Amino acid sequence: MAVVSAAAMSNGNFHDVNMRPKVGVGVVVTSCQHPDCILIGRRRGKITGAGLYALPGGHLEFGESWEECARRETLEETGLSLKDVCFSFVINAVMEEKDYHYITLFMSAEIDATKEPEPLNMEPEKCEGWEWVKWDDFPPDSQLFHPLLVARQRGFDPFQTLRENSSRI
Ligand code: 8DG
Ligand code: MG
């Protein structure tokens, strides 16, 4: 008989003690052609958060820098190359009932329009398509992928971060 060690969670359920949080990277992509907007896409298929809007992003690979991950995931999913990639925000996102625990790093970047100027839906099996959406005119919370929802609830504003960064230069 298999023996599974378990530890109590705050909701009274139990989880496998061998489970560890994962590291996710979400990329806030901006374009001077679309002021005050970022790129989001509705997730689809058999993936966590299907039906919900998320940023381009994915898992940090072993040995990868945060910037490398942001560039790789954005290129794989949207065909876009990035410039001015910088760290913006971090959250600890937990949904115990779904065995979901990610440290999510939010990286901000501007598209390098000398390459591909507009996003392509490179993984149509995982995403319905990419849209430029104003941060202040966003889909309702009920339609947001968990890490994006948590970041907004905790006061993340990529445009404020961008303004702060540029005022330091
Ligand atoms: P990968 O597993 O090949 O690295 O990534 P993927 O194929 O692009 O999968 P994904 O579901 O888009 O991303 C994997 C996980 O990354 C996802 O289940 C949770 C985590 N993640 C965050 N924040 C974000 C985010 O803002 N956007 C996306 N797409 N994933 C995120 O923690
Ligand atoms: Mg992804």
* pLDDT tens digits, 148-161: 999 999 999 999 87
pLDDT in tens, 33-52: 999 999 999 999 988 899 99
As a whole number of Å, the CA-based R_g of the chain is 17
Give the ligand 1 atom nearest the CA of 48.
18
Over 80: is that where the pLDDT of 166 sits? Answer: no
- Average pLDDT in the chain: 91
Q: In this structure, are residues 37 and 133 in contact, taking their beta carbons and an 8 Å threshold?
A: yes
Over 80: is that where the pLDDT of 9 sits? Answer: no
- Highest average pLDDT, of 60-64, 96-100, 113-117, comes from 60-64
Over 50: is that where the pLDDT of 169 sits? Answer: no
- Best residue among 64, 71, 104 to mutate for probing ligand 1's pocket (most ligand atoms within 8 Å of CB) is 104
Q: Give CA angle at 55 (50, 61), nearest 5°.
A: 95
Phi and psi, residue 148, nearest 5°:
-70, -40
> Looking at ligand 1, which residue's alpha carbon is closest to its atom 5?
58
Measure Cα distances from 73 to 50, 70, 132 in Å.
Answer: 18, 5, 18
Over 60: is that where the pLDDT of 135 sits? Answer: yes
Question: Which residues have C-beta under 5 Å from ligand 2, the single-atom ion?
Answer: 58
